[in-house]
Chains A and B, each alone.
Chain A
Amino acid sequence: MNIPSLTIGRVREGLGKKEFSARELAEEALRHAAEENPKTNAYLHFSPERALAAAARVDEKLARGEDPGPLAGVPVAVKDVIVTRGVKTTCGSRLLAEYVPPYDATAVIRLEQAGGIIIGKTNCDEFAMGSSNENSAFGPVRNPVDPERVPGGSSGGSAAAVAQGTAVVALGSDTGGSVRQPASFCGVVGVTPTYGRVSRYGLVAFASSLDHIGPFSRTVRDSAVLLRAIAGRDPLDSTSAAAPVPDYAGLMDGGVKGLRVGVPREYLKDLASETAGLIERGIEALRGQGCEIKEISLPSTDYSVACYYIIATAEASSNLARYDGVRYTGRSANSETLSEMYRNSRGEGFGLECKRRIMLGTYVLSHGYYDAYYLKAQKVRALIARDFAAAFEQVDAIVGPVSPFPAFKLGEKIDDPLEMYLSDIYTLTGSLAGIPCMSVPCGRTAQGLPVGMQIMTNHFDEGRMFRLAAAVEGGVPPVTPGAAQPLP
């Protein structure tokens, strides 16, 4: 069986026709992923025991003639900020290098109930803080399209695993673009659902008013199927939404004729020229399929970076206070007193970017600066949300770029934190508004580097987002995992 060519539908067909068992598929997927991993460092560790136990449950159900679930037998990679009982969950941090969670995230439980097979945990920026995956304590991930380049971040390992073809689908987390931007850089589909659509119980908290769990896949349909399996109200996460979960894959069909699609003029002005060309080609593909394309304005866009990096770091400085060397992290060996132990364990354990963000977040919350920074940012966030509410009065969806440029080289931006933050501009706005957003492959540059188009819809309107993504997917050349493919 050819693991990189699999889709959820193909796995279902193979199991149904008894071409392979779930156990055979899991064993082959584990072997293949371990063999390929040195090329990218996408996985931090594998979970063979858990994978084979889950596969055995799928095979037993098949033998009894029961429905094994919509993800039956599908090899899945899970970002290492999502806790897995009995399987190490490091968050890409030295502090949690040996942490073995005593419980499962709700998304993980639902994934396995749907028949999914978790083969391993993927590398990421430490505590999901970064846009290049270079902030992992366990080494960077390399982009499978070009190993000299970053896969994007912070869910770089999940994006690389799917692009490389070692997992059929993956889970990532997105706070300000951490699913969409690596999906764009690696040439795969990445989805940030509506805030509250997927339970965050068991997602290690970064910025609670912004954190999401979202799918990666090689086809739009596979993300739609995976999202349906993990979405829905969870009593263990009071921010999870009670809205019914539709059959997203069913909503994909029917075409996009007559949909009103907005293109924000603020999103096209600072793009690398090849990126702009590819996005315009994607917009033309939508127009060709009957969409009504309208220029719109999201006037607060330019303020999103400042707004986001105040709110996200403020929340992070509070969420990361729990890593204190007492309960689940490593502890500094050289401390006489409790307060010294806190300071030393945290100072030695956190990487540079985490410390920078904790410092920034602590500063903007500190006495005398709270109103000027934190409260101001929360007000600007309301303006950004208003921009979207006004836009959705005029259009059904908004499209634009995910990132101003394609994947950059390892080391290229790591010494300039502000420049790295500024590159998140197009993903931050949707995150701040809490609307569903996704990246869908929209062609490649002359050098063969993938470019993703971002599609955004109103709260809980993932259905139309997937339908538009399917139209883009069908309208531009497909992506094959593995090698770079320059366009003719």
Chain B
Amino acid sequence: MKITEEEVRYVAMLANLALPEEEIHRFQRDLNEILDHMDKLNELDTGGVEPMAQVLYEAGETATLREDCPLPPLSNAEALANAPQPGAGYFKVPKVIER
């Protein structure tokens, strides 16, 4: 057992996911099965191998730089158009300070 029920609840908390009980149990089972498969990576000797974070190909060091040109931003109305609860030009949220 790689991941306990406690750990599943902890990871769900880290990920900001409210999960019903049946999903906690289901994910414990699924994650254990998947993580068991992932142990396969330990068969490979990766000593001295640099981790690959991005696909790299031949390009100049400044290839990703560009001129800093100001462009018109989204208008306030456009930025708020998809918000579930806009108000007075802002995104409204439930109270932040919990008592």
Contact = CB atoms under 8 A, between A and B. Distances in A.
B6 interface: no
19 contacts: A239-B64, A300-B44, A306-B39, A307-B41, A310-B41, A343-B16, A347-B18, A358-B17, A359-B8, A359-B15, A359-B17, A359-B27, A360-B34, A362-B11, A363-B3, A363-B7, A376-B42, A382-B51, A433-B55
Interface in A314-339: 317, 321, 324-331, 335-339
Contacts of B93: 326, 338, 341
Interface stretch (A18-26, A97-105, A268-276): A97-105
Interface of A: 98-100, 102-103, 194-196, 209, 235, 238-239, 241-242, 300, 302-303, 305-307, 309-310, 317, 321, 324-331, 335-344, 346-348, 350, 352, 355-356, 358-360, 362-363, 366, 373, 375-383, 385, 417-418, 421-422, 433-434, 459-460
Interface in B62-91: 63-64, 66-67, 74, 78-79, 81-85, 91
A373 B19 contact: no
Contact of B98 (A235, A337, A381): A337
Pick from A100, A317, A341 the residue with the most CB of B within 10 Å: A341
Given A209-B53, A235-B66, A360-B34, A326 B83 contact: yes
A337 B95 contact: yes
Contacts of B14: 362, 366
B1 interface: no
B84 A347 contact: no
Nearest to B63: A242
B18 A344 contact: yes
B49 A382 contact: yes
B18 A303 contact: no
A81 to B, nearest CB: 16
A379 B51 CA distance: 4
B61 interface: no
A347 B83 contact: no
Nearest to A242: B63
Interface residues of B, number: 56
B94 A306 contact: no
Contacts of A310: 38, 41
A338 B17 contact: no
Contacts of A336: 94-95
Contacts of A382: 46, 49-52
Contacts of B81: 100, 102
A305 B37 contact: yes
A377 B44 CA distance: 10
B5 interface: no
Given A303-B44, A327-B82, A382-B52, A460 B94 contact: no
Contacts of B63: 241-242
Interface in B27-46: 27, 30-31, 33-35, 37-44, 46
A52 B95 CA distance: 46
B51 A378 contact: yes
A288 B37 CA distance: 41
A241 B57 contact: yes
A347 to B, nearest CB: 3
Contacts of A362: 11, 14-15
A309 B38 contact: yes
A375 B53 CA distance: 9
Nearest to B98: A337
A305 B39 CA distance: 11
B41 A303 contact: yes
Given A325-B84, A352-B23, A343 B34 contact: no
Given A100-B82, A241-B59, A363-B11, A337 B50 contact: no
Nearest to B27: A359
B11 A329 contact: no
A140 to B, nearest CB: 20
A376 B42 CA distance: 8
Task: With a 10 A CB-CB cut-off, give which of B51, B67, B85, B91 has the most chain A CB atoms.
Answer: B51
Nearest to A386: B49
A196 B40 contact: no
Contacts of A344: 18
A102 B52 contact: no
Contacts of A356: 27, 30-31
Given A338-B93, A347-B19, A460-B57, 10 more contacts: A241-B63, A321-B16, A326-B84, A347-B17, A347-B20, A358-B15, A359-B11, A362-B15, A417-B30, A434-B55
